[in-house]
Structure 1
């Protein structure tokens, strides 16, 4: 019998890459959950298959609407669930804290409650975030799973709730729910509200003559460990297929660490206009408080599954920049942000 996977947030960067991975590496049916108003740019290459009913199917639902979740789960009856949907922009959460908390904490609870009642045997991945650790003292580096939470944004607080709700359903009901705290991951299709993606987009726009050769930036001093989104989705697949343990939680991330400033310098160095580009602090891009030391210890997950990253930092950043060059070159209009 064919396995069925349900991906919430299928139209996002991670969801779309996960759909690609499952279509290429498994014979599963891939069911994507999205809101009726979700942009389809990231899944445009899948739409012919969706229209033809060729192993990939889209379902409209919203984490804030229990009835729609009930309908989707009842229709699909998934064997595997990858819960990726969220209000996922940390900076936006300062302006919309209630929406962020409602969507990410209560939305996750609504989904898990439907799954508990409809398909309690499903294997479920709940995606939290490394942002739960927030402002970590250097003494706790690298960050292991039991480092205390110190969230630095409403988004991070919401992901603490997401993390705990997921673990609760695993512990209380014996559901095979596993929670991940994925550290910084990026690549093609990354939203332009994230630092590395807005930098790459601005470089592509500069090269196309659309904006002056000035890159607007926020805090450049934060340390990040970088992973590729394509490594991330492979990790998520292994999470649910390699000896899944109810209630477990894992840090996942890359192996290359550098500051936001170093990452920006790397992207600029890839541009033929590198000698003309300058950098300017934009106060609008600064968060009230920042998670500034995001370096993971991924020993637990790697030992359990055998996963290891395959994409280099250079490959990831190069592919991200080429993604934006392609979009700008194709004439897609962009906000200057």
Structure 2
């Protein structure tokens, strides 16, 4: 039985990845940051008490700033694969907490790589790199495009990218970067713009809010569906040789287009409910990100199925249901059609 270690297991990608690996027969270990309140709602449905004889998922409490803890956990688990997804991952917040973001999003990668090198250099390592690293570089962006980071978050991710490359080149480790473009789902954090929009729509329909306040509507992104992308992470570590891959749909749409499509789908008038608030603008904006996923499509035999409009419908339906409303239903039909086996579990 293969054993995997996931940082950020309680996040969007970490929870879907845990489900996927369990479906593949893995024993899954996840790093959970201890807090005064539980933050495991995304994985509660797959949690089995570690004392049960059939348990294959285990949580380890710790923090990405603690080198000793990371070394201790990796030494005791001895995983076959490490998926490093944990980070301070909100771009706008990184401007308010640049030092913390550099520590948790950047230096933590070095802590894990070094601990892995010392305890088990044959382990396969996946680094969750980000399209934000390309920043101001004109689209489309691929594995050979220049990095031009435009936020403390992006700078920290560039650091992590190059540390991963250096450990691969310097110590012959199987260390890979997955440069993922925006990927969303009903489990997306509530402060990220796509989820903020769909939650706002549900709140307006439920009569709890009248307006939705947003920032830059002109920003363009390549939006995909998280459950598809975590399978790609796994495929990267199943290759014969380590490499870096751009993962995306190859299509781009603006925030304005997402807002218009989502409000129209829900039967609401954008002009009546959407307002712009300057506090949501970044000090430095990234205007357009668009993946060129040619390498991943060829080498990993992977291609995104869910695109912009399908993603929007899935998320609007989920947030309407969460608000106690009857969903439109087209999003549910898309999931049943494209993913009949539902390996990623509940939303």
* TM-score w.r.t. length of structure 2: 0.89
Separation in 1, partners of 2:128, 2:11: 13
Partner of 1:333: none
Separation in 2, partners of 1:143, 1:300: 12
Question: 1:47: how far off?
Answer: 2.6
Separation in 2, partners of 1:298, 1:78: 29
Separation in 1, partners of 2:15, 2:309: 22
Contact 1:136 / 1:292 at 8 angstroms: preserved in 2? no
Partner of 1:66: 67
Q: How does 1:118-129 map to 2 (within 5 A)?
A: 118-129=119-130
Matched, 1:81 2:82: yes
Q: How many residues align?
A: 322
Contact 2:90 / 2:153 at 8 angstroms: preserved in 1? yes
Superposed CA offset, 1:225-246 (max 9, x none): 111101110110111113242x
* TM-score w.r.t. length of structure 1: 0.91
Separation in 1, partners of 2:221, 2:49: 37
Partner of 1:235: 232
Superposed CA offset, 1:230-272 (max 9, x none): 1110110111113242xx2221111332111001111111213
Question: 1:326: how far off?
Answer: 3.3
Separation in 2, partners of 1:74, 1:304: 32
> CA RMSD, aligned part only?
1.7
Matched residue SS, 1:33:
strand
Superposed CA offset, 1:60-87 (max 9, x none): 1211001110121122110011100001
Counterparts in 2 of 1:275 and 1:196: CA distance versus 1, 3 Å: closer
Superposed CA offset, 1:264-323 (max 9, x none): 111111213347842110111111111111011111222211111122333322222233
Matched, 1:289 2:290: no
Unaligned runs of 5+ in 1: 331-337
Partner of 2:330: none
Separation in 1, partners of 2:283, 2:90: 14
Q: How does 1:1-337 map to 2 (within 5 A)?
A: 2-24=1-23, 26-37=24-35, 39-48=39-48, 52=52, 54-137=55-138, 141-212=139-210, 214-245=211-242, 248-274=243-269, 277-329=272-324
Separation in 2, partners of 1:150, 1:275: 34
Superposed CA offset, 1:125-153 (max 9, x none): 0111010010123xxx3112222111110
Contact 1:60 / 1:68 at 8 angstroms: preserved in 2? no
Separation in 2, partners of 1:44, 1:324: 19
Separation in 1, partners of 2:108, 2:126: 14
